[in-house]
Amino acid sequence: MSAAPHTTIRRVGVVGGGQMGTGIAEVCARAGLDTVVCEADATAARAARERMAVSLERAVQRGKLDRISAEDALTRTVFTGSLDDLADRHLVIEAIVENTEAKTDVFAALDKIVEDEEAILATNTSAIPVMRLGMATRRADRVLGLHFFNPVPVLPLVEVVASLHTAPAAVATVEAFVTGTLAKTVVRSQDRAGFVVNALLIPYLLSAVRMTESGFATAADVDAGMELGCAHPMGPLKLADLIGLDTVASIAQSLYDEFKEPLYAPPALLLRMVEAGLLGRKTGRGFHTYDRD
């Protein structure tokens, strides 16, 4: 029987310094945790630090965080280009591109690098079954899904996903960490593609894409209809742009691969936009156009 996971998580690592990764690192650092963010190389690590600094400054300007706390959070976070710097972590959260092979490679590497046998390895995947990633390690009982939502510093929900191998003690430890240390709300999900939120959300977004693709309504009218007619804070195509159209397409494909339901199949228009690099807010153009930050 394996040892029980840490009851107290104080040292956290995040693999991936994109929007999600830096958001996760930010909430950990703001909670007073020793935080390390690992990117592909030193240049990407510097870009991740700048991304987090901009987010913290935005929180200060909006009155959500005082400047001293923001400076402390940034000082508390180390940005690196080497996975070896995660060796002493209690919890490592993978938040790289939504690609099974890439994520599997990261978990196989972390399994060799993270020294503490009690450490927990988590994935922020939106749709890839946790079991596939856990089986790339020798510690599948300490691998689970920890799915945050964008923007991480703002949205209060985290999905906790246990595979068939995940030890109940690991789940309990992570739930206590998320609700206690990070002050977020947990929902549990079975280890199925899409989990709870995306299994409900993605068909809705794809339906909006198909409506626009068919010429039934413009993107602006689809979004206005749901915002003004259903009191949604953001229309489905604006939301897809915020998530990233490449990410939406990847999640849809994962759902379709698992369930073979037509409503999960990514529409041709979505695939063409991804091929064209029209990915939404992060590229300045998707179903709508945006000013680049």
The residues that are catalytic are: 126, 147, 159, 198
Whether the CB-CB separation of 144 and 160 falls below 8 Å is answered with: yes
Q: In the chain, which ranges are E strands? A: 11-15, 34-38, 77-80, 91-94, 120-123, 143-148, 157-162, 185-189
- Report how far apart the first and last C-alpha atoms of the chain are (Å, whole number): 50
Whether the CB-CB separation of 108 and 92 falls below 8 Å is answered with: no
Q: Provide the 10 A C-beta neighbour count for residue 220.
A: 14
DSSP 177: I
Q: Look up residue 16 and give its two tokens.
A: 């991936």
Chain centroid, CA 172 distance in Å:
20
Q: Look up residue 231 and give its two tokens.
A: 């009191």
Q: Provide the 10 A C-beta neighbour count for residue 291.
A: 6
For 158: left if phi > 0, alpha if psi spans -120 to 50, otherwise beta; the answer is beta
Residue that the structure tokens 């599948």 belong to: 140
Q: Look up residue 21 and give its two tokens.
A: 């990764």
- Evaluate the omega torsion of the peptide bond into residue 168 and state whether it is cis, within 30 degrees of 0: no
